[in-house]
Structure 1
Amino acid sequence: MTALEIDSLSKSYGELRALNEVSFEVPAGQIFGFVGSNGAGKTTTMRIILGVLRSDAGEVRWKGARVDADVRRRIGYMPEERGLYPRMKVGDQLVYLARLHGLSKERAVAAMEQWTQVLGVDERRGDEVDKLSLGNQQRVQLASALVHEPDILVLDEPFSGLDPVAVDVMSDVLRSQADRGVPVIFSSHQLELVERLSDRVGIVARGSMVASGPIDELRATDTSQWILALASATAPPAAPPGVSITESAPGRWLVEADSAESAQAVLASAVQQGTVTEFSPVRPTLTDLFRDVVNAPEEVA
């Protein structure tokens, strides 16, 4: 199986249970958005994947085999904290890091030139890292994760401190890496960005994975809800059996139906009544889901 598998990871620090049997997988070519409050266990999970920490139980597998040192050399990692040499020049540093991963000098230089250009810091190759803005440091940090052509990408808060243009650039880079078959894991507190960019999402709370799967599946609800708006109407259309209609604003109604077919019947009736200006499904956003699962009371064993 071509996937990065995180299987039942547990980790404790004395009395503190940092991870409790966390499991998820990231198929090759997909982007996995990893979200949770500060201290929920995201960074601990990423560090176990990298081998920086050792789990108390569980394992990490790539292509069905346990991840070892050879596989970890093929991982591109971007920590949340700065992991660069502040007084080293950007170009020299990226070449050095690429060569540590086994690239020849020629390939390392070519990779450095490619990624500094793609990420918009090619004019800063001769500058020391600590002379750069925080946003440009973040771009160089991503370049350091990409410069050795990794098979797996693990990025901890890669969008932190970036302006909207830089966010778009980095989003395009992550998608291009997934398109070439790389499984990408990234954490972020920008939930709208996670929802837009990710193929799958995992929500971790208090060290446990509380929701995981494709965005559409996570946002699915048992009840069908729709927003209906009419150009000129003072009353809603008649509600067939299994449907409730409540006014949310003048000329706008919330339609709650027991099936999509019932909702379509309301739409057909509304068309007969006047000009329909909106009829759109209402589904919870990732932000809504996050609030629900993070604020849910903790179960007592």
Structure 2
Amino acid sequence: MTAIPSRVRLIDVGPRDGLQNEKQPVPAGTKIELVHRLQAAGLREVEVTSYVSPKWVPQMADNHDVMSGLQRQAGVRYSVLTPNLKGFEAAVLDRPDEIVVFGAASEAFSQKNINCSIAESIERFAPVVEAARAAGIAVRGAMSCTVGCPYEGEIAPGRVAYLAGLMKGIGVQRVDVADTIGVGTPRKVQAAIEATLQHYGIDAVSGHFHDTYGQALSNTLAALELGVWNFQSSVAGLGGCPYAKGATGNVATEDVVYLLHGMGIDTGVDLDALVDTGAWISEQLGRPTSSRVARALLAKRAG
């Protein structure tokens, strides 16, 4: 077992991954305010928006307004999702610090989602990555379905290694090991991370765990045991799991911070300010926060 890291960097994906499936339009001003509150709470990386066709993801149609409305803070990295060269060309005008490309470790998922094989999907991203690197923009690769797929079931670690190798081959600098449907358990998650480490160093690997089956914090601990110190999470647990009816999706940032602080791990995040942020965005969306920690702390305050 590697020594558990003494500090962790969190990427809050709430503004993008968390809000993209909301049925009601969320005003650009609310999204901007969410990013501002997250950075004020100490988050140093925020996934802000995506440059996809508004036909497919209408919630992200205001990407330019959101990015241009940000009051950027020194030392904060603002990332955006770009599915193709057209998306990248729109994104680059808004000066993101990092672009995110994506691929699945499951052939069935790749075919159902984007109508092409894993290898073809990565080939499509090659010119996007090349253009980003030429423009001095960092590139992250989101690797979905690394332990389980809604169509194929369990995913072998070899498939994860294959995807990581393809990402490395086109110049992706760091990757997320994502348990997209939240079926992973600690040993399976460790196997997926170890497969990724065949191609990337530990500093370039992050964990992205969904809480569909209540395993996200256990899986976070399992990743920490391997030395992983980058994680993605979503304030207030924003973002459901579209492949499991009524299921929770992203692990709540508040819950991860509480776990890490309880282990003496530094995050640079102010938990109280983060809880306030989660309560605020939940109020804007007209529902209670999905964070267990936030609910407990808010109840304690009220008491």
TM over 0.5: no
Range into which the TM-score falls when normalised by the shorter chain: 0.3 to 0.5
Q: Output the TM-score relative to the length of structure 1.
A: 0.40
Q: TM-score, normalised by structure 2?
A: 0.39
